[in-house]
Amino acid sequence: MANQSVRIPNASRGRRAEEPDQVGEQARRGTGRTARGRQTRQHLVESARTVFERQGFLHARIADICKEAEVSHGSFYTYFTSKEAIFTEVVDSVEIDLLRVDTPVEDLEPIERIRAANRHYLQSFQENADILRVIEQVSTFDDEVLRIRVAREVEFAQIIERRTREYQEEGLVYPDIDPSLAAHALGGMVAGFAEQMFFENQQSFDFEHAVDQLTLLWVNAVGLSRP
């Protein structure tokens, strides 16, 4: 017998049964039962992030990722089925905590809370600008990623909406403000401003000045600045 190989098409889909092929996992592969396996997988995800940040999604070749991870070509497919698969993993692994403020703000005045949240958002955005930019890119042609991105925006809006509604009930926010729409608009304001500032290298504003102004506009807009 021998070693060489040829390829044949798996035409016979019909006469012969197919492998069950646990679909649903599709994206995730090679488990990493071993410590070594988990390490390699981790390596790949980290390298992928580096490559994506450097080259963008479109210009990142799987070969580039493997090279960066110092792993053979085949190993990639032990763990991931495609570039999309590993990208999703990268997105998940990145703790892009644009929303939640870590420091306790419970005791702060509404204005200071908003300022803290805005500062946190801008800061996180700036720190993760490279990968966020790629996520935005991919979301323009990959529904899965778009869904993730939109989910984040929606969550952001919901937090704002909830808080705004509370303030409104306390009489701190104008009654004619629609909390839901305002949440999307003000969330869009901060996000849109961040994109202009960090993606498009526009007129570089001073960081703290930007935080102050965004906060000022925000509180003015909903009425929180009134005496």
Partner DNA sequence: GATGAATGAGTATTCATTCAT
Partner DNA sequence: CATGAATGAATACTCATTCAT
Q: Which does 94 bind (CB under 5 to 8 A by kind): a copy of itself, DNA, none?
A: none
By CB under 8 A, which span of 14-22, 34-42, 93-101, 102-110 interacts with a copy of itself?
Answer: 14-22
Judged by DSSP in three states, 128 sits in: coil
Indicate which single residue of 82, 126, 196, 220 sits in contact with DNA (rule: CB under 7 A): 82
Compute the Cα dihedral for 65, 199, 194, 150 and give only its sign: negative
Written as one letter, the residue type at 128 is: N
Residue 5 contacts a copy of itself per CB under 8 A: yes
Site for a copy of itself in 191-210 (CB under 8 A): 191-193, 195-197, 200, 202-203, 205, 209-210
Selected binder of a copy of itself within 28, 142, 152, 163 (CB under 8 A): 142
Q: Are 117 and 183 in contact (CB under 8 A)?
A: no
* 138 vs 160 by CB, closer to DNA: 138
| Residues facing residue 13 across a β-bridge | 16
Tokens standing for residue 125: 């955005």
Which of 169, 164, 166, 159 lies closest to 222 in space, CA to CA? 164
Binding site for DNA (CB under 7 A): 3-10, 30-34, 36-37, 39-40, 61-63, 71-78, 81-83
